[in-house]
Structure 1
């Protein structure tokens, strides 16, 4: 299935009933996810630390990975809503793709909005086709949630830029052709450092990566990056050197929305597994799902997952409509709600399975550990609460 630009009016976007094209997209993505599956494909790959290359290739060939990117560069011409839909449906089969969050959602969106014509021609066709992958480098050891404290710097040297610094927890660098690095330039008038974005090919001299060994089962790896006076041409700068904070958030809101979509999908996978087991497992006279001690917690999980999905859809609609403030608020809320619902769904699925829920056969314990990431990344639960308290409720800033 190829994805083409949808003719979606504002009333279509805000409807609780999805358009026929979106329903068809959901069905097609779900069919792809079912062909692979968690226990059959994803978990064995994760256990040996191999990326989901075959799934990525098939999703790319079907046009799913570039659904949000402009048609003129080979994308589907749709929006973040459609890309979140792709992520959710894959994750509902336990086959969510982490690099969908990074490559087309963050990097593709930023380049499509702020890149030069040459940058768009160079990178967007590959990102849309899935033949190129771009990682995203923002987190630093001493900055963490406070991106204002980033110390990776970029200075002018003639027409070139010299970038120096290091990053941590950067996903998928071993699969990437380049990393979109968040650095800071110095404002000569004020002496203050301003954020700026640079496309850094992974084979650039002075660019080094070291794999971080995480204590979770994931097919994608995390890396520490070292940029030792990396020389970049002037064409590596994305957008304006002094306007990157706005450009940065053009990618961070989609990151939160796609993260929420992945969490909702994982929660759906866990709930489906629990319901299936509860209908099949008989200990006394009837299946265990007939007992309220099993049924009620699963019903509660269903409610909370659906509520999280609604907020995720709202965030995607607002973002695609250009409401940046509304999208930021909704995206943070969606990410918070989806993370909590997903973790609860997996914990309850394990409880429903009893001892079987802790076995390698079902893989639920491994998925719970992976789902736990959503409480921490790409922004912690506590920072989301800070944001809502300050910006939604008007309370004094607490940090």
Structure 2
């Protein structure tokens, strides 16, 4: 039986894409561009626009609608290389990865024509609204409802921790329709324009340094036309997870990139910083922890590549398992890398000059979102190990 090495040996085109994205990230450096923007609470608009014009944001979207026609593997590659320069884009996880993927797979021709070209070149942004205060990301417990009123839909409910709504043209909202045959509520997806009547956006006060803001959303009988529904109201759970697996993969890519940034910063400092006429990087107390996090980041990257390759090949269950594992491993390795980079710098690691402490706060998000470490362990316990369900 032959082994497909495509997940581990990249094509010339993929290597060229990495190099081009890395070059872009170098021009929008963390210390000179990203961190000052983040401290002012300003989005990375210039970087986003240029990445869109270069075709990086839409590499995974259908070619016939202006995308690159590649896969989630390539989009994860873009995210990783940007993040490795300290310039990861959170909305890449949301707009092209989740929303673009779902619309590309399940949207009508009209929805594809209206949204995908803009999502691909960055001129349009779509946020994603699933999380609720009482349900988290548990789509079985979502309380936002969608009921028919003639040909229209009426949405009522609320969402929490929704990223980038202030930058978005619309939000892909996960609501629940009622199955009149069973009386049960089931999930469905709706495109809600950002300026829809009855749609209220309230910023959340976060205690991390990030350029993108989080919002609480209130939908007070928001009226939508029939064409706002994405895909089938009877198959939305499957459609929903076609976007959640890319979310986990792209989240892993961003975490791995931040970890790479941290290790590179620490190595550069350890080569230059001299104590008693010797660079501190010559000491095993400095070198070995950095070598360890390098290994752990590379292992996480391999799982991310596996997850992306499985997803792009159409293996939904295999992709779900690998995507969860990749997101878990990437978060742990990224946090460890940032912590060790700060330790390598000593007191300098806590200064504004290097910005590593601020990045550690951002990296810490990956242990919580888009799915918590504990829920990933629940998934692996049940689905990978076959243990009884604990919740």
Q: Fold conserved (TM > 0.5)?
A: yes
Query: What secondary structure is seen at the aligned counterpart in 1 of 2:133?
Result: coil
4+ residue segments displaced more than 2 Å: 10-15
Query: Are 1:34 and 2:29 counterparts?
Result: no
Q: 1:55 to 1:13 in 2, by over 3 A?
A: farther
Q: How does 1:359-398 map to 2 (within 5 A)?
A: 359-398=351-390
TM-score by length of 2: 0.99
Equivalences for residues 207-356 of structure 1 within 5 A = 207-356=199-348
**1:49-102 deviation per Cα after TM superposition (whole angstroms, max 9, x unaligned):** 000000001101100000000010000000000000000000000000000000
Query: Which of residues 141, 155, 163 is equivalent to 1:149?
Result: 141
C-alpha displacement at 1:13, in angstroms? Answer: 6.4
Q: CA offset at residue 12 of structure 1?
A: 6.8
SS of structure 2 residue aligned to 1:33: helix
**Larger mean Cα displacement after TM superposition, 14-23 or 356-365:** 14-23
Partner Cα distance (2:7, 2:179) in 1: 46
Deviation per CA, 1:350-385: give whole Å up to 9, x if none. 000000000000000000001000000000000000
- In structure 2, the residue matched to 1:78 is 70
Q: Cα RMSD (Å) of the superposition?
A: 1.0
Unaligned runs of 5+ in 2: none
Cα separation, 1, equivalents of 2:197 and 2:137: 29
User: Would you say the 8 A contact 2:7–2:309 is kept in 1?
Assistant: no
Deviations 1:286-325 (CA, angstroms, capped at 9, x unpaired) = 1000111000000000000000000000000000000000
The alignment's TM-score, normalised by the length of structure 1, stands at: 0.97
Counterpart CA distance in 1 for 2:201 and 2:195 is: 11
Partners in 2 of 1:240 and 1:16 — Cα distance? 36
Q: Deviation at 1:284?
A: 1.4
What is the aligned residue count?
390
Query: Which residue does 2:51 correspond to in 1?
Result: 59
Kept after mapping to 2: 8 A contact 1:13/1:317: no
8 Å contact 1:153–1:163 — kept in the other structure? Answer: yes
Distance 1:56 1:192 in 2: 41
**Secondary structure, in 3 states, of the residue corresponding to 1:210?**
strand
The correspondence for 2:10, drawn from 18, 32, 52, is 18
Whether the 8 Å CA contact 1:154–1:164 is kept in 2: the answer is yes
Partner of residue 95, structure 1: 87
Deviation at 1:285, TM superposition (A): 2.3
**Is the alpha carbon distance of 1:118 and 1:344 closer, same or farther for their aligned partners in structure 2, counting shifts above 3 Å?**
same
Q: CA deviation at 1:242?
A: 1.6
Paired position in structure 2 for 1:121? 113
Deviation at 1:14, TM superposition (A): 2.6
Structure 1's 13 and 170: CA in aligned 2 closer, same or farther, altered over 3 A? farther
| Counterpart Cα distance in 1 of 2:79 and 2:7 | 20
CA distance in 2, matches of 1:145, 1:286: 51
1:12–1:19 contact (8 Å) kept in structure 2: no
